[in-house]
Amino acid sequence: MEKNFFEWVIFFIQGNWQQFLLGTVTTLFVSLSGTIIGFFLGLGVSLIQYTKADDRSSKLFKVVISILKVLINIYITIFRGTPMIVQAMVIFYGLPQLIGLNLDPLPAALLIVSINTGAYMAEMIRGGVDSVDPGQLEGAQAIGMSHFQAMISIIFPQAVRNVLPSIGNEFIINIKDTSVLNVIGVTELFFTSKSIAGSYAKYYEVFIITSVIYLFLTFTISLILNAIEKKIDGPKNFEILPLQDGNSVVIKKGKGV
């Protein structure tokens, strides 16, 4: 007797849960690692973009910074303007021909996601920096900080906080976009699902399971990221109490609110 839809779903879950689990773990590993590495890459790129040469800078420094900024603009334009699936094919199959570097699928996937994410992170952080009051940079320089010190200690921490929701969204996007890495043989969730479905010629039932797993991952991570943002923001209700000297005040969380 032919199985109905629900019987097939139960059959695939019972018989292939380990493969689904392994594919899910690989998807999370690649997307999380790629997002973290891409964040620091984007942070470094943004730092170079905002580095300014002044009268005290050497000619060599000015030339190097100018060249780096041009290369960075090319990098951002290419990786934001082409699909990740195309980048995966070019990098995975191009590196052996160009420099003789043969990467296994998983390290290649980490490289691809990290570089792709870095380009988007650089633009996110740039927007975050632009959202910070310029007066803070001027104030930092007025008390003797260099441009570099002010950016590292004052501007970038605020910029990162401002773009934290966008960083979380990029992580969620990476979870879904890792599915394209099946073209280079990465055994992530989509590749695993396609293999299982092909063995039984039951694509609808298998990919219903896959879609539920993706939805669970993205929904759960969205909740976690929202909780982290609220934790960073701290309590929203305060009462202001004067100190004994009559001048200074302290801010204390309101009671009963």
For the segment 144-168, what is each residue's pLDDT rounded down to a tens digit? Answer: 777 778 888 888 888 888 888 899 9
Q: Are 43 and 125 in contact (CB under 8 A)?
A: yes
Count of alpha carbons within 13 angstroms of residue 160, beta-carbon side:
14
Helix, strand or coil, per DSSP, at residue 159: helix
Q: Which residues contact 38 (CB under 8 A, 6 or more apart)?
A: 113, 114, 115, 116, 117, 118, 120, 121, 170
Q: Where are the alpha helices (DSSP H) in the chain?
A: 5-49, 59-81, 84-98, 105-131, 134-142, 147-150, 156-162, 164-177, 189-200, 203-233
Report the DSSP beta bridge partners of residue 240. Answer: 251
pLDDT category of residue 257 using cuts at 50, 70 and 90: very low
Which range, of 124-138, 159-173, 184-198, averages the lowest pLDDT?
Answer: 124-138
CB burial of residue 135 (10 Å; 0-12, 13-18, 19+) = exposed
| Degrees to nearest 5, angle at CA 160 with 157 and 161 | 90
Residue type, 102: N
Distance CA 77, CA 22 (A): 34
- Please give the backbone phi and psi of residue 248, each rounded to the nearest 5 degrees, phi first: -80, 160
Instruction: Give the number of residues written for the chain.
Output: 257
Residue type, 13: I
Mean pLDDT value across residues 67-83: 94
Predicted TM-score of the model (pTM): 0.84
pLDDT the model gives residue 58: 79
For the segment 203-255, what is each residue's pLDDT rounded down to a tens digit? Answer: 999 999 999 999 999 999 999 988 887 877 666 665 555 655 555 444 545 44
Note the Cα 209 to chain centre separation in Å: 26
Instruction: Return the higher-pLDDT residue of 61 and 254.
Output: 61
pLDDT category of residue 54 using cuts at 50, 70 and 90: low
Distance CA 252, CA 238 (A): 5
pLDDT category of residue 107 using cuts at 50, 70 and 90: very high
pLDDT the model gives residue 256: 45
Instruction: Return the higher-pLDDT residue of 210 and 56.
Output: 210
Tell me the pLDDT of the chain averaged across its residues: 86
